[in-house]
Amino acid sequence: MTPGKHFVYVSHHESGDIAPYALAADAAALAPLPRVAAGRLVMPLAASPDGRFLHAAIRTEPFALRSHAIAPATGALQPLGATPMPDSMVGIAVDRSGRWLLAAAYGADALYVFAIDAQGHVLPTPAQRLSSGGIKPHAICIDAANRFVYVPHLGTDEVRVYAFDAKAGLLTPCVPARARLPAGTGPRHLVLSPDGRFLYVLGQLDGRITVLRRDAASGALDTVQVLDAVPPGNGLLPGKPRPPSGSAQALPAETDVFWCADIQIRPQGDFLYTTERAKSTVSVLAVDRASGHLRLVDCIPTEKQPRAIAIDPQGRCLVVSGEASPTLSLYAIDATSGTLALQQQQPAGAGANWVLFATPPLS
């Protein structure tokens, strides 16, 4: 397949749509494309590995997953229909084969695996529903070999490890089944280093990153570093687990406690980025690729309540969405220092949420 253009997709949970943007060839600008209606509380997004399909989870009843085909030349989204979901899915991911969609149900403490057909439709009957083993699973991270799945559990301060059978679409808890994190971490999102040797876990509730060394053969994890994702003196207090978005118990925004959101790593593996929503900042951390250790380089103000970030496949730029901001920011990444320089802001919908890149093939 011939790689095509890079496109950015942003879900807006209040305006209920998905906004595509085309990234300029020099990665210095975004061009907005027509939005596609999705439904209130459209939140997590996941693209197929080949960039041909985009899936979006609706987190209000009736829960659903909306699938779209991505036009290779324009990035436009063609709706393929909606699949009913049994729960509100806080995190979704497509496996490396493109045949399975994995989902985490935060309020149900459950994981699901759904089959995807060749036309990009997600089938309604799950291949598996599995009790996650912890409380408040929040994301799905699949290793490059498609053998292991890592799920942070915000309510029990742990990352659970599962073996994945990509032929049958089945998850099996590993032995050992988890890596314990410091009490009060509230692990939310996580990302593997490009070489798969380290797993970086962002604590929503304590504003810290836990660095875990990974055994590629067994999937097992062990801690090598814990450090602050934001500079000291920020005035923030430890947070507490929150009810699911869209539920009757959902809480308003918080400004006095840690409320970290997203974590991404540059494809080169040399710099890592995180967001914190209470103070609306993006942090830049340098990565020692040999040891996996991190060092805080910079922390800058950004869009209000930055829930998600995404890095282009070449590692040239970073996109930030602000859940309480009317704009989307595009930053250039300095390849030497990792620091960010604002290039452009584009209008965004209400409740900008998830951000991801997709590169559909031209042929």
Q: Is it the case that residue 186 has pLDDT exceeding 90?
A: yes
Backbone φ and ψ for 160, nearest 5 degrees, come out as -90, 145
Superfamily covering domain 7-358: YVTN repeat-like/Quinoprotein amine dehydrogenase (2.130.10.10)
Q: How far apart are CA 5 and CA 169, in angstroms?
A: 31
Give the mean pLDDT of 169-177: 97
pLDDT at 248: 64
What radius of gyration do the chain's Cα atoms show? 19
The pTM for the full model equals 0.97
* Burial (Cβ within 10 Å: 0-12, 13-18, ≥19) of residue 197: middle
The mean-pLDDT minimum among 247-251, 271-275, 321-325 falls in 247-251
Calpha distance 195→182 (Å, rounded): 25
Cβ pair 66, 56 in contact under 8 A = yes
Q: Which two tokens stand for residue 69?
A: 């085909």
Q: Residue 363: pLDDT above 90? A: no
Over range 238-255, report the average pLDDT.
78
Q: Which residues contact 314 (CB under 8 A, 6 or more apart)?
A: 27, 267
Q: Is the dihedral of CA 166, 188, 334, 6 positive or negative?
A: positive
Given a cut of 70, whether residue 67 has pLDDT beyond it is yes
The two structure tokens encoding residue 235: 């005035």
How far apart CA 70 and CA 216 sit, in angstroms, is 33
- Residue 340 binned pLDDT confidence (cut-offs 50, 70, 90): very high
> Tens digits of per-residue pLDDT, 122-145?
999 999 999 999 999 999 999 999
Count of Cβ atoms closer than 10 Å to residue 131 Cβ: 11
Q: Give pLDDT tens digits for 200-234.
A: 999 999 999 999 999 999 999 999 999 999 999 99
How confident is the prediction for the chain on average, in pLDDT? 96
- For Cα atoms 94, 266, 242, give the angle at the middle one, nearest 5 degrees: 60
**DSSP structure class, residue 24:** P
pLDDT digits (tens, 9 = 90+) for 7-45: 999 999 999 999 999 999 999 999 999 999 999 999 999
In angstroms, the CA 83 to CA 103 distance is: 13
Two tokens, residue 95:
């496996």
**If we measure between CA atoms, which residue out of 159, 155, 152, 161 comes closest to residue 184?**
155
**What is residue 143's predicted lDDT score, i.e. its pLDDT?**
99
Q: How far is CA 274 from the centre of its chain?
A: 11
Confidence at residue 255, expressed as pLDDT on a 0 to 100 scale: 81
Q: What is the pLDDT of residues 269-307, one digit of tens each?
A: 999 999 999 999 999 999 999 999 999 999 999 999 999
In this predicted structure, what is the pLDDT of residue 165? 99
Does residue 135 contact residue 125 with C-beta atoms inside 8 Å? no
Q: Confidence band (pLDDT; 50, 70, 90) for 171? A: very high
pLDDT number for residue 31: 98
Asked if pLDDT for residue 80 goes beyond 90, the answer is yes
Predicted pLDDT of residue 1: 58
Residues in the chain: 363
Structure-block tokens of residue 325:
């901001």
Return all residues near 95 (Cβ < 8 A) that are at least 6 apart.
101, 102, 142, 146, 164, 166
What's the distance, Cα to Cα, between the start and end of the chain in Å?
5
**How many alpha carbons lie under 13 Å from residue 107 in its C-beta half-sphere?**
16
User: Can you give the pLDDT at residue 245?
Assistant: 78
Is residue 363 exposed (0-12), middle (13-18) or buried (19+ Cβ within 10 Å)? exposed
What was the pLDDT predicted at 249?
67
